[in-house]
Amino acid sequence: MVQKNIEDFINEINGSIGKNKIITDDLILKLYSKEPSGLVGKISAVIFPENKDDISKILSSAYKYEVNIYPQGSSSSLSGNAVPLKDGVIVSFERMNRIKEVNTTDNIAIVEPGIRIDELNLFLEKSNYMFPIDPASQSVATIGGAINNGAGGLKGAKYGTMKDWVNGMEIALPDENGTRLFLGCMTVKCRKGYDLARLIIGSEGTLALVTEAVLRITPIPESIVTSLALFDNLDDLLDSFIEMKTSGIQPYIAEFMDNKTVEIASKGIDINFDANGNMLLLSIDTTKESSERMKKYLENLFKKHNANKIITSLNQQEAEELGLFKIRRNLFAAQVSMGYSLYGNGKKLQVFIEDIVVPPSKIKLAINKVREVSENYGLPVTIGGHIGDGNIHPSVVYDITDENMKNKVVSWYKDVMKIALDLNGSISAEHGIGLLKKDGLIMEMNHYNSLKEINIMKSIKSLFDPKGILNPGKVL
């Protein structure tokens, strides 16, 4: 049954923004109430604002009736960031997906939050530009979701994360009027007191709704050499990566998958080579004149470290034709199907993807320790990730109805987070805290003797959202 305050809220916004922007059909609500991690929530309506005024009206009524608001891009989060926890309504940004301006002299794109990263890049490609933050989910991930998750991606080694690529943004607050503010600046260089724009990045929809963003864009590199190398011995792979980094080469993409991950992700895809062993997928951006030289450098490096297979392309088109990215792209689907083959169809599965990060110099230690710990648990763990920036994703798929297995997984992921903290790392690089990592956040604050940070964060939350109606229960 819909609570009285939610019913009154829906009636009010029916009048203020229009009926065709609200859905209360049960089947549709179910579709919007879940995440790929397997987490499911419950809501009373999905609202589809079409402009900033709609957003202010929704927030103003939500404030009046104290209705929980769950902002949503594509709900591709993995830590429970977007899933509705208590009753309330989802505000979906899918109808606010326009590109408002692109200026290649100023290196900016001004966009609405619902635009998908892939769509934005297709548009920018026409001017030979790109937005370089490319989560593996970029075909669905929206700019609003990526800002609020502080997302990173395959090019993270070179370009960092969302916090490095947003100059400014407009937000709407959950107050009497749904007040809108412009945070940050239009320019890269900017000193405007405390940096509130960066406070919103990674805030997981708990502080304000992002209604527009001023993004930095950059030219597409002239030439990109890509090499896929497979190694029988994991240490050989890691040594080749460290040697490359030490020699001063900053990879454009540096992705790693252990042998178990390669085995499951290479099944059922159309590739023309045998994929056996631990995989390193490296791209280097360079000039046309230097690409042959870079290709030789990579091939010699991998041979020196005993790679059993090396396939190299001189440009992105050739990399696509050779299928060099296919194994990486199939990863998530492969983890889900591994779950069904292990536990049987019809089971309630959860894919738990760890997201630890360590300084790249500690990556070899971290991966070996995670392997050692995981073997002791006997869980179906696969390890891969963006090793260029020290971010690894040890993952496990399990049946959530099996309490014994669930307890084991919880204990495993605590051990994995501890490994990262002991190596001067962090418990989450890009997926965020959501619901699943709240205890990890406390663990990290404790580790760095910084528990008071939580109190400061709680005070900030209540300044932005005094009634606690924005994505309640997340992060803190």
Ligand X SMILES: Cc1cc2nc3c(=O)[nH]c(=O)nc-3n(C[C@H](O)[C@H](O)[C@H](O)COP(=O)(O)OP(=O)(O)OC[C@H]3O[C@@H](n4cnc5c(N)ncnc54)[C@H](O)[C@@H]3O)c2cc1C
Which residues between 210 and 239 bind ligand X (CB under 6 A)? 210
Q: How far is the CB of 295 from ligand X (least distance, A)?
A: 26
Q: How far is the CB of 373 from ligand X (least distance, A)?
A: 23
Q: How far is the CB of 434 from ligand X (least distance, A)?
A: 7
Binding span for ligand X by CB under 6 A among 64-72, 224-232, 418-426, 446-454? 64-72
What is the rounded CA–CA span in Å between residue 248 and residue 383?
26
Q: How many beta carbons lie within 10 A of that of residue 321, not counting itself?
A: 11
357 bridge partner residues? 391, 426
Residue 314 and residue 223 in contact, taking contact as beta carbons nearer than 8 Å? yes
What is the rounded CA–CA span in Å between residue 250 and residue 295?
15
**Contact call for residue 468 and ligand X (CB under 6 A):** no
Q: How far is the CB of 150 from ligand X (least distance, A)?
A: 8
* 122 contacts: CB under 8 Å, gap ≥ 6: none
Strand 349-353 relative to strand 395-399, pairing? antiparallel
- Looking at the Cβ atoms of 70 and 412, the one nearer to ligand X is 70
Give the one residue of 56, 68, 77, 259 binding ligand X; rule: CB under 6 A.
Answer: 77
What is the rounded CA–CA span in Å between residue 318 and residue 283?
12
Terminal-residue alpha carbon distance, the chain: 28
**Contact call for residue 88 and ligand X (CB under 6 A):** no
**Contact call for residue 283 and ligand X (CB under 6 A):** no
- Looking at the Cβ atoms of 52 and 408, the one nearer to ligand X is 52
Which residues between 423 and 442 bind ligand X (CB under 6 A)? 430-431
**Contact call for residue 335 and ligand X (CB under 6 A):** no
Which residues between 121 and 150 bind ligand X (CB under 6 A)? 135-137, 140-142, 144-146, 148-149
- Looking at the Cβ atoms of 201 and 294, the one nearer to ligand X is 201
What is the rounded CA–CA span in Å between residue 337 and residue 332?
9
Residue 310 and residue 302 in contact, taking contact as beta carbons nearer than 8 Å? yes
362, two tokens: 């500690």
Q: How far is the CB of 43 from ligand X (least distance, A)?
A: 12
Binding mask 6-45 for ligand X (x = CB under 6 A): ------------------------------x---------
47, two tokens: 């609202």
Three-state DSSP at 33 gives: coil
- Looking at the Cβ atoms of 169 and 319, the one nearer to ligand X is 169
Q: How many beta carbons lie within 10 A of that of residue 296, not counting itself?
A: 12
* Residues found near ligand X in the complex (CB under 6 A): 36, 70-78, 81-82, 93, 113, 135-137, 140-142, 144-146, 148-149, 151-153, 204-205, 209-210, 332, 430-431, 471
